């Protein structure tokens, strides 16, 4: 007898093939049978008539690491149909953690169910939390570097590089599946490429992956791609380029050259792919606008510079020289203690404060103790769809999970935290991007194969029953930059490892995610 029978749906198997009308039977944690299951007995029946049935979506670029300990039901992700999150991106994993003060800004000041230092510690807490989605752990280079040498603004010595490599080995032995870099964030921005190559060799020996937020996504985009590909060539590591984009109007013309570099690398045998979210604004901490020298020493050192009149004057001078006045128009404030500034362009905030944009930004960073976030508008919609259409580009939200209630409802996130996957589905259904079967592939089998998630990403007999049922007529994102806390619509059922985690009534409070 089957545990579940999903009947009457159009099955998109995740391979890019056209949908087929079929029933899907689940026994235990696996898909047991696909076909006409009319006479088959099942403990529960899900009527999917007029609906699409697909593999559960895989968020190839998530930042939910610490938040899964706070809200393991992951509502903003489940309502998008996400059944697996790949966390630890941009060099900023939850572990290994030398000092809790070095957690990313939006993770600080939260209350967690316990303390951790090693990946093994964090993994134990995560398993005890029983997350709803599956979770794959990446190890952040920023955490490795901070553990070994803090936030020093210099190249690592040979001994320090060896220590980082040993720590990565230990962290992968404890459950990490690769490592990530965030090269616009401290301490990663201080590192030389050889440091990453050492770690890439460790990952490659364990069939791990290297994911990177590159050193530039704008002016020096092509050089950054070349730097990244060179590491893969030297080490043979599997490579994922995070949130591939052409940022800044002056750089929009580089999109074809950027894609061609990756195409040629793939044709030459490199195992390289990329991910992207379907929005023309990114989102991160506002302090990324500070010059590199100002980021040395960690959070307390940066705050001291902001409060020192001479250092602040130097900051203003460097920021004025490096950024055109018009650039500030594309910066919109996200999370900040001053609620009235949330969702407003930086020039508006500056006007309200009676200062220029640079001074307004510095004041927010100082008063918020570097916890201010911002949205950066500067991408071409045409380029966005062009990148998403590439066969090697998968979907990634670049977001932590959020909730409508509790501690994860109080900030002002990028709407992708609630809407990235349904937004892409809606675009496919409306003919704005690739056809629906290819869109599903980009969210399922493509990331499953590239990240070596065996038995996931396809609707086939024997696969894990990670499944999503959605209504093609209603599926859409609802969250906006003005009102980001809004659940997506049209995702009607989500199953993780054979357990119904979300149904038409909402979350079921049954959580069956695993550490992959």
DSSP 294-311: GGTT-HHHHHHHHHSHHH
Query: Which distant-in-sequence residues (6+ apart) come within 8 Å of 293 by Cβ?
Result: 153, 318
Residue 465 CA, chain-centre distance (Å), reads 23
CA 211 to CA 181: how far, in whole Å? 7
Residue with tokens 């045998």: 269
3-state secondary structure 417-459: HHHHHHHHHHHHHCCCCCCHHHHHHHHCHHHHHHCCCCCCCCC
Residue with tokens 């939260």: 110
Q: What is the set of domains in the chain, with CATH numbers? A: 57-280+378-454 (3.20.20.140), 289-374 (no CATH)
Query: Which distant-in-sequence residues (6+ apart) come within 8 Å of 291 by Cβ?
Result: 315, 318, 319, 322
Tokens, residue 456? 């996931």
Query: Is the distance from CB of 180 to CB of 90 less than 8 angstroms?
Result: yes
CA 219 to CA 487: how far, in whole Å? 35
> Could you give the 3-state DSSP secondary structure of residue 470?
strand
Give backbone dihedrals phi and psi of 154, rounded to 5 degrees, phi first. -160, 170
CA 197 to CA 137: how far, in whole Å? 20
Query: Is the distance from CB of 457 to CB of 450 less than 8 angstroms?
Result: no
Residue with tokens 């201080």: 190
CA 35 to CA 20: how far, in whole Å? 10
CA 457 to CA 449: how far, in whole Å? 8
Query: Is the distance from CB of 241 to CB of 214 less than 8 angstroms?
Result: yes
Q: What pLDDT shows up at residue 325?
A: 57
Q: What pLDDT shows up at residue 255?
A: 98
Q: What pLDDT shows up at residue 103?
A: 72
The CA-based dihedral angle spanning residues 427, 430, 432, 437, taken in that order and rounded to the nearest 10 degrees: 70
CA 283 to CA 331: how far, in whole Å? 10
Cis status, amide bond into 403, omega within 30 of 0: no
Q: What pLDDT shows up at residue 389?
A: 98
Query: Is the distance from CB of 436 to CB of 429 less than 8 angstroms?
Result: yes
DSSP state of 225: H
Residue with tokens 């074809």: 256
Q: Which of 19, 7, 20, 50 is nearest to 439 (CA)?
A: 19
Can you give the length of the chain in residues?
516
Tokens, residue 278? 């379907």
Q: What pLDDT shows up at residue 7?
A: 98
**pLDDT by residue, tens only, the chain of 516 residues:** 999 999 999 999 999 999 999 999 999 999 999 999 998 999 999 999 999 999 999 999 999 999 999 999 999 999 999 999 999 999 999 999 988 766 766 676 677 878 899 999 999 999 999 999 999 999 999 999 999 999 999 999 999 999 999 999 999 999 999 999 999 999 999 999 999 999 999 999 999 999 999 999 999 999 999 999 999 999 999 999 999 999 999 999 999 999 999 999 999 999 999 999 999 999 999 999 999 999 999 899 999 999 999 999 999 999 988 765 568 999 999 999 999 999 999 999 999 999 999 999 999 999 999 999 999 999 999 999 999 999 999 999 999 999 999 999 999 999 999 999 999 999 999 999 999 999 999 999 999 999 999 999 999 999 999 999 999 999 999 999 999 999 999 999 999 999 999 999 999 999 999 999
The torsion region of residue 509 among left (phi > 0), alpha (psi -120 to 50) and beta comes to left
Rounded to a whole number of angstroms, the distance between the first and last alpha carbons of the chain is 28
Q: How many CB atoms lie within 10 A of CB 66?
A: 25
């Amino acid at each position: 007898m089957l545990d579940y029978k999903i009947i009457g749906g159009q099955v998109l198997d995740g391979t890019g093939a056209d949908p087929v009308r079929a029933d899907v039977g689940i026994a235990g944690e696996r898909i047991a049978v696909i076909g006409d299951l009319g006479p088959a007995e099942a403990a529960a029946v899900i009527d999917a008539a007029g609906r699409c049935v697909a593999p559960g979506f895989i968020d190839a670029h998530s930042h939910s690491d610490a938040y899964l300990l706070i809200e393991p039901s992951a509502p903003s992700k489940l309502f998008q149909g996400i059944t697996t999150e790949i966390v630890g991106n941009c060099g900023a994993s939850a572990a290994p953690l030398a000092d809790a003060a070095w957690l990313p800004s939006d993770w600080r000041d939260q209350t967690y169910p316990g303390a951790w230092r090693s990946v093994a510690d964090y993994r134990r807490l995560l398993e005890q939390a029983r997350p709803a989605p599956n979770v794959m752990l990446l190890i952040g280079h920023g955490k490795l570097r901070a553990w070994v040498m803090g936030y020093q603004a210099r190249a690592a010595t040979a001994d320090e590089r060896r220590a980082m490599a040993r720590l990565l080995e230990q962290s992968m032995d404890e459950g990490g599946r690769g490592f990530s870099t965030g090269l616009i964030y401290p301490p990663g921005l201080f590192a030389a490429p050889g440091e990453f190559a050492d770690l890439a060799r460790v990952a490659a020996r364990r069939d791990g992956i290297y994911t990177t937020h590159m050193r530039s996504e704008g002016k020096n985009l092509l050089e950054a791609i070349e730097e990244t590909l060179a590491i893969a060539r030297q080490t043979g590591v599997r490579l994922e380029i995070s949130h591939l984009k052409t940022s800044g109007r002056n750089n929009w013309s580089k999109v074809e050259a950027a894609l061609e570099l990756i195409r040629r690398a793939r044709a030459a045998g490199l195992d390289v792919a990329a991910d992207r979210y379907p929005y023309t604004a990114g989102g991160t901490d506002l302090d990324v606008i500070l010059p590199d020298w100002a980021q040395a020493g960690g959070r307390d050192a940066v705050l001291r510079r902001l409060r020192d009149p001479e250092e602040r004057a130097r900051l203003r001078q460097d920021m004025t020289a490096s950024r055109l006045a018009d650039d500030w128009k594309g910066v919109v404030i996200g999370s900040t203690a001053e609620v009235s500034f949330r969702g407003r362009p930086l020039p508006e905030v500056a006007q309200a404060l009676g200062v220029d944009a640079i001074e307004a930004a510095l004041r927010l960073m100082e008063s918020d103790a570097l916890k201010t976030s911002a949205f950066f508008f500067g991408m071409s919609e045409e380029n966005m769809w062009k990148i998403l259409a590439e066969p090697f580009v998968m979907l990634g939200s670049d977001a932590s999970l959020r909730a409508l209630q509790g501690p994860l409802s109080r900030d002002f996130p990028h709407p992708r935290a609630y809407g990235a996957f349904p937004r892409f589905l809606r675009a496919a259904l409306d003919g704005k991007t690739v056809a629906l079967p290819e869109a599903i592939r980009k969210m399922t089998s493509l990331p499953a194969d590239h990240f070596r998630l065996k038995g996931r990403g396809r609707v086939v007999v024997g696969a894990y029953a990670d499944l999503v049922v959605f209504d093609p007529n209603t599926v859409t994102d609802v969250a906006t930059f003005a009102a980001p806390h809004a659940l997506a619509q049209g995702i009607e059922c989500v199953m993780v490892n054979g357990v119904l985690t979300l149904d038409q009534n909402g979350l079921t409070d049954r959580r069956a995610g695993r550490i992959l």
